[in-house]
Structure 1
Amino acid sequence: MSSAPNVYDAEPIPEAARSEIDRLLQSGDLFRYTAPQDAPVALLEAEFAELMGSRFALAVSSCSQALFLALKTLQLPRGAKVLVPAFTFAAVPSAIVHADCQPVLVEVGDNYRVDMGDFEAKLTADVGAILISHMRGHTSDMDAIMALADQRGVPVIEDAAHSLGTMWQGKKIGTLGRIGCFSFQSYKMINAGEGGILVTDDADIIAQAIIMSGAYEHNWKKHPVVHDRFAHWQNKLPLYNTRMQNLSAAVIRPQLAELARRVRDGLANHDYVAGLLNGSPWLDVPAPLLPETRAPDSIQFNLVGLDSDEQAVAFQEAAMARGVSVQVFGLSENNARAFWNWQFIPGEMPDLPQTRAMLMRACDVRLPARLTRPDLDYIATALIDAVADVMAEPRAYGT
């Protein structure tokens, strides 16, 4: 291959979506509550719940809104503390702030997973909830997290935006906690441009979430679930109008059948490239935890022995010169994944030296499931050659 592969375009939307979209455009029926039943959004919810093995699902406008609604359904007091990993996207602590709660950032190790010592130390009696973000699809020790949460009686929400299709101990990520939240944003396994969905087995949680999502008056009757709980919550909850509209559901539904293939191919692609990168003394792809079977659409690796920021930046530039874009999380200005840029969090920002050190040398490369073996070889070779070039000339980088 003479040129770098395009890693940004998504797979084509299945043809089945197009006829449904055309039908919706002809009718103008885009609002989920116009039809008395079987609107595309309602069908998506039933199909997604079945896919996940969950009792209930609610489709909304984004994963951020799913996280926000999840927190609101817990009826936490204003200012309640919510534990969240310090390695995540800014939208996750933003959802906590939006829900009038206080994010408490937990250290993350160089394998991108929650540091369990810091987690346990910060799981104090005044913590109202735990929001575990499986950032970039990396699963923390959910056995230990759930054991501590259950012991303390603290509810767990899973941010599974990057983890649709990931398994833990044979169970689907997003179904381990009380509520799981997923994304349909463009770079996720299922692409609707925007969109999100939450799943739960709790009747009161889904009843609250449906009403708050914008099921005003008696539109909740068009949800074929928990009608015995809606009357309890009628007129007692604010409406946040986070609904998904029918066009998004029409784009998503045919892709559910593609998920298993995308997960299979994405994992094979990731592991193939990881094996090549780990052959370099300067690149390290952390291994998954033993109970975890991942569903990746990107690859993360650490720079080893590149002790200065100048060397890390030089690596980025050398890779880009070969057509491969690399993001070093902590060295990208105003990066939304670097916790020190979350200045919207109330109070003093914690130091978190372990997470900071990881972010300063952790790299991120897109690796969509549709890539071919020559594409993967090109990307891996470009990364390996780029770091070799940098390490061959240490004096140029102040070492």
Structure 2
Amino acid sequence: MKTIPFFPYSDLFTRDEEALSKVMLDVCRRGAYILQKECREFDAHLAEYMGVKHAFGVANGTDAIIIGLKAVGIGPGDEVILPSHTYIATAASVHLVGAIPVLAECGEDHMLDAADVEQRITSRTKAIMPVQINGRTCNMDALQAVADKHGLMIIEDAAQGLGSKFKGRSAGTFGKFGTISFYPAKLLGCFGDGGAIVTNDDEVAAQIALLKDHGRNEEGRVVAWGYNSRLDNMQAAVLDYKLKHFDVDIARRRAVAARYQEGLEGVPELNLPPGPKSNSDHFDVYQNYEIEADRRDELRSYLEGKGIKTIIQWAGTPVHQFNELGFTVELPKTDAFFKRCMMLPMNVVISDDEVDYIVDSIRSFYLEKP
């Protein structure tokens, strides 16, 4: 029986093993492990790719949000509005700087709902944090209008958004700062943990530079309390190599999404993500291909029997359902979404034949009697 993994982790290395081995051996032979030229070069190339003034590699995507929040002065008593449809790290980062995560609904496109955000603003609200999820950028015009109306800053969790755009502008570049994750399964993945913070604000950049490396300035003197959150130089070298080919990977993801769209758009039991050409304002890069499905759990079991691995993101738990963390807010739209959502295999090494097999299997499931 054919087996299609949800994400083929080993292929991150084996599909380009010879070139990646050379990159890593070069780092090791030079003993270039911490904050060497690869880190500087990757920061510069990432900033250029995203069209921002400053980019800083850090240890992981969660650190990126925490450091960004500290750099813009968000702290105890401040409220930050963010979607419940996100990974716990987004809300945890707000909590860990002493601020209060305020959870909001997602809209029909599964992104943060600007109208719902506005209803949750209080006198303590300091920022809105859209999450550029699944390789799509939110409608930033709508969110910026709310922020401007109420005098709030925009900050972005673009962990899953690198390469995606709204009206030609890159995810992560709309607010005071944006963050990226380089976790292996992300759009640009390294061989461990990694993240980045980007900003166009010189003052914010100066604070990030201090905070990510023990509060040390360019002369090496400690002038502030900081973190040990440096992007590993080996990972920077790998990421810099991969960034050179990143547009090819994005094109493949969009081609896979188009093939799913063509094969599944006529199935009434499904709600698909927007297709690659559905809206000229959005350039989606499909970190994930997340659908809504009738009889979701039965469909997943059926696909498992066909050798097709699927997942429900974050084990099917949006942030507001973590009652142990003190959340009591009711978000019926998000609840309804999580009863139907699931992810199909989406990566750059999946073949057209495998996509067609997944499509045919899904169509067969719904043609059978319940």
TM-score normalised by structure 1 residue count:
0.85
- The 3-state SS of whatever aligns with 2:129 is strand
Shift of 1:14: 6.1
> Partners of 1:89 and 1:388 in 2: how far apart?
34
Seen in structure 2, the aligned counterparts of structure 1 residues 268 and 100 have a Cα distance that, compared at 3 Å, is same
> Partners of 1:130 and 1:281 in 2: how far apart?
35
Of 7, 22, 25, which aligns to 1:22? 25
> Partners of 2:234 and 2:310 in 1: how far apart?
34
Contact 2:104 2:113 survives alignment (8 Å): yes
Q: Which residue of 1 aligns with 2:235?
A: 248
Q: Which residue of 2 aligns with 1:45?
A: 43
> Partners of 2:164 and 2:269 in 1: how far apart?
28
- The 3-state SS of whatever aligns with 1:133 is coil
Of 242, 255, 260, which aligns to 1:268? 255
> Can you give the 5+ residue segments of structure 2 that lack an aligned partner in the other structure?
none
> Partners of 1:337 and 1:141 in 2: how far apart?
24
1:23 is aligned with what amino acid? D
CA distances 1:310-366 after superposition (whole Å, capped 9, x unpaired)? x4322211111111223345xxxx727422443464x44211111101111112122
Q: Does 1:65 align with 2:49?
A: no
Q: Which residue of 2 aligns with 1:76?
A: 74
Q: Which residue of 1 aligns with 2:4?
A: 5
Seen in structure 2, the aligned counterparts of structure 1 residues 336 and 301 have a Cα distance that, compared at 3 Å, is closer
Shift of 1:101: 1.1
Q: Which residue of 2 aligns with 1:342?
A: 322
Q: Which residue of 2 aligns with 1:296?
A: 286
CA distances 1:368-399 after superposition (whole Å, capped 9, x unpaired)? 1222211110111122223433xx12xxxxxx
Alignment of 1:104-253 (within 5 A): 104-192=102-190, 193-218=192-217, 220-221=218-219, 235=223, 237-253=224-240
Seen in structure 2, the aligned counterparts of structure 1 residues 336 and 78 have a Cα distance that, compared at 3 Å, is farther
| Bigger Cα displacement from structure 2, 291-300 vs 7-16 | 7-16
Shift of 1:215: 4.8
Shift of 1:253: 0.6
Q: CA RMSD in A?
A: 2.1
Q: Which residue of 2 aligns with 1:228?
A: none
Q: Does 1:321 align with 2:305?
A: yes
Contact 1:161 1:183 survives alignment (8 Å): yes
Shift of 1:46: 0.9
> Partners of 1:191 and 1:13 in 2: how far apart?
13
Contact 2:165 2:284 survives alignment (8 Å): yes
| Bigger Cα displacement from structure 2, 95-104 vs 377-386 | 377-386
Query: Displaced runs of 4+ in structure 1, greater than 6 A?
Result: none
2:27 is aligned with what amino acid? L
Of 247, 252, 271, which aligns to 1:284? 271
Seen in structure 2, the aligned counterparts of structure 1 residues 146 and 107 have a Cα distance that, compared at 3 Å, is same
Of 337, 342, 357, which aligns to 1:378? 357
> Partners of 2:273 and 2:239 in 1: how far apart?
32
Seen in structure 2, the aligned counterparts of structure 1 residues 7 and 356 have a Cα distance that, compared at 3 Å, is closer
Shift of 1:208: 0.8
1:323 is aligned with what amino acid? G
CA distances 1:162-219 after superposition (whole Å, capped 9, x unpaired)? 111111111111111121111111111211132011110111111111111115444x
> Can you give the 5+ residue segments of structure 1 that lack an aligned partner in the other structure?
223-230, 394-399
Of 341, 350, 355, which aligns to 1:362? 341
2:57 is aligned with what amino acid? A
Contact 1:316 1:328 survives alignment (8 Å): no
- The 3-state SS of whatever aligns with 1:132 is coil
Seen in structure 2, the aligned counterparts of structure 1 residues 162 and 146 have a Cα distance that, compared at 3 Å, is same
1:195 is aligned with what amino acid? G
> Partners of 1:216 and 1:14 in 2: how far apart?
37
What percent of counterpart residues are identical? Answer: 23
1:31 is aligned with what amino acid? I
Shift of 1:238: 1.8
Q: Which residue of 1 aligns with 2:96?
A: 98
CA distances 1:213-247 after superposition (whole Å, capped 9, x unpaired)? 115444x358xxxxxxxx9xx62x32111111211
> Partners of 1:326 and 1:337 in 2: how far apart?
16
Contact 2:82 2:102 survives alignment (8 Å): yes
- The 3-state SS of whatever aligns with 1:327 is coil
Structure of higher CA gyration radius: 1
Contact 1:14 1:254 survives alignment (8 Å): no
Give the number of aligned pairs.
Answer: 362
1:369 is aligned with what amino acid? V
| Bigger Cα displacement from structure 2, 8-17 vs 69-78 | 8-17
CA distances 1:80-132 after superposition (whole Å, capped 9, x unpaired)? 10000110111111111112111000111342022222111113332111111
Contact 1:83 1:130 survives alignment (8 Å): yes
- The 3-state SS of whatever aligns with 2:56 is strand
Contact 2:69 2:97 survives alignment (8 Å): yes
